[in-house]
Copies of this chain bind each other. A is one copy, B any other.
Amino acid sequence: MGDKAEVPSRRSVLGWGGAGLALGAAAAGGTVAALGDDGDGTTPVAESGAAVPFHGKHQAGIATAVQDRLHFAAFDVKTKDRAELIELLKEWTEAAALMTQGHPVGQGAYGGIVEAPPDDTGEALGLKPSRLTLTVGFGPSLFDGRFGLEGKRPKALVDLPKFPGDNLDPARSGGDLCVQACADDPQVAVHAIRNLARIGFGKVAIRWSQLGFGKTSSTTPDAQTPRNMMGFKDGTRNIAGTDTENLRKHVWVSEKDGPDWMAGGSYLVARRIRMNIETWDRTSLKEQEDIFGRTKGEGAPFGKKREHDEPNLKAMPEVAHVRLAHPDTNGGAMMLRRGYSFTDGTDGLGRLDAGLFFLAYQRDVRDSFIPVQLNLARRDVLNEYIQHVGSAVFAVPPGVRTDSDWWGKALFSEGA
């Protein structure tokens, strides 16, 4: 869709010679995926070692085919200096453009200045790009007046209401900024967040972070939906990364939605959903299946044969999860979900601290996540087995298009 001429090569950004770039690519051991790239950040073919293009009209990591692993971090901005925050966002953008292509941050060679800390922490050296995507978001608190952004908060960036049953830990909620790092190799995702935190030292601090070890949704049409920690395929009816029609209708903010700086962006809701694993595991198969409205083995909706068969909502209990979450029950609301299972060890009572780190992208939370979650929080029988313990919402700006562009440029520019 025509942004190709504007996409810079890393050569021009860094002044690397051709030989140096070739060496870099070889050292990273990966190939830059040769894609029919339409600037949507999608990778139609999920070649696990490949690089996902960083530049485009949307940020990668949304419509991109879901990678295997996640490291998500929410940051508090510590500096009160707008110029320092802008400088950081520029440095982050430059580092992200390098890391997503499998390169180390900075010049990366360990033969140069030895009296300074290395530009890159090194633990991803020799690893493939692993389809790393880095996706940035701006939380409601960024618009509180510290940085002269109070007039620029999108109307759609609402504070989420308190839902019935919420038991939110403030230490796992909110954040001025977020970065979602997804990759097929967890070391690559962890390395990326760590290096962004290192670059931001003194200006930002990690407020909370979450590792996800297994994807729970697919944005690839016809793929089997991965199973969640309850053993079920949930989120079967997801928006495919190639479904431009539903992406346009339900995910990407349009120019007329406003504000201007969000056109091509999206809104992200993150919820840490703890599952009462031990209680669930002692529940009968029939009850488990009634709760989801699906069979456990195949994942077929009640009365149907296969996972992707269209559900007959009337064939399942009124309070079944599939029925309550279905677009037909929610005025057509759809979100692009790309959540991950987590297991963070064991709590003080010997129970697994495990569940779903829910991530959903949408054009407007007011007519998607909020009404759907109100419906679920009030009626879903699954609530007996889960608890929402962390929550955040972010405005995710459009993609970085050129080498003079950076994360948030339109937001921070005077005219926007």
Contact = CB atoms under 8 A, between A and B. Distances in A.
Given A111-B297, A117-B283, A211-B343, 12 more contacts: A117-B282, A118-B288, A121-B231, A122-B227, A122-B296, A187-B341, A190-B341, A190-B354, A194-B277, A201-B278, A211-B213, A344-B344
Interface in A170-215: 171, 185-187, 190, 194, 197-198, 201, 205-211, 213-214
11 contacts: A109-B297, A110-B296, A114-B286, A116-B285, A117-B281, A118-B231, A123-B230, A124-B227, A190-B341, A206-B352, A209-B345
Contacts of A12: none
B289 A114 contact: yes
A123 B194 contact: no
Contacts of A213: 69, 186-187, 190, 211, 213
Nearest to A349: B205
A98 interface: no
A126 interface: yes
A346 interface: yes
Interface string A228-248: 111110000000000000000
A95 to B, nearest CB: 14
Interface of A: 69, 71, 73, 76, 109-111, 113-118, 120-126, 171, 185-187, 190, 194, 197-198, 201, 205-211, 213-214, 224, 226-232, 277-278, 281-286, 288-289, 295-297, 341, 343-346, 348, 350-352, 354
A350 B122 contact: no
Given A198-B281, A345-B208, A229 B123 contact: yes
A210 B345 contact: yes
Copies of the chain in the assembly = 2
Contacts of A118: 231, 285, 288, 296
Contacts of A348: 171
A143 to B, nearest CB: 22
A246 B186 CA distance: 32
Contact of A122 (B232, B282, B341): B232
Nearest to A110: B297
Q: Which 3 A-B pairs have the closest CB atoms?
A: A122-B231, A205-B350, A110-B297
Contacts of A123: 214, 227-231, 341
A190 B117 contact: no
A405 B389 CA distance: 44
Contacts of A113: 285
Contact of A197 (B121, B122, B185, B352): B352
B110 A295 contact: yes
B345 A115 contact: no
Contacts of A295: 110
A242 to B, nearest CB: 23
Contacts of A284: 114-117
B198 A278 contact: yes
A231 B187 CA distance: 11
Nearest to A121: B231
B285 A346 contact: no
Contacts of A282: 117, 201
A13 B110 CA distance: 56
A346 B194 CA distance: 11
A81 to B, nearest CB: 19
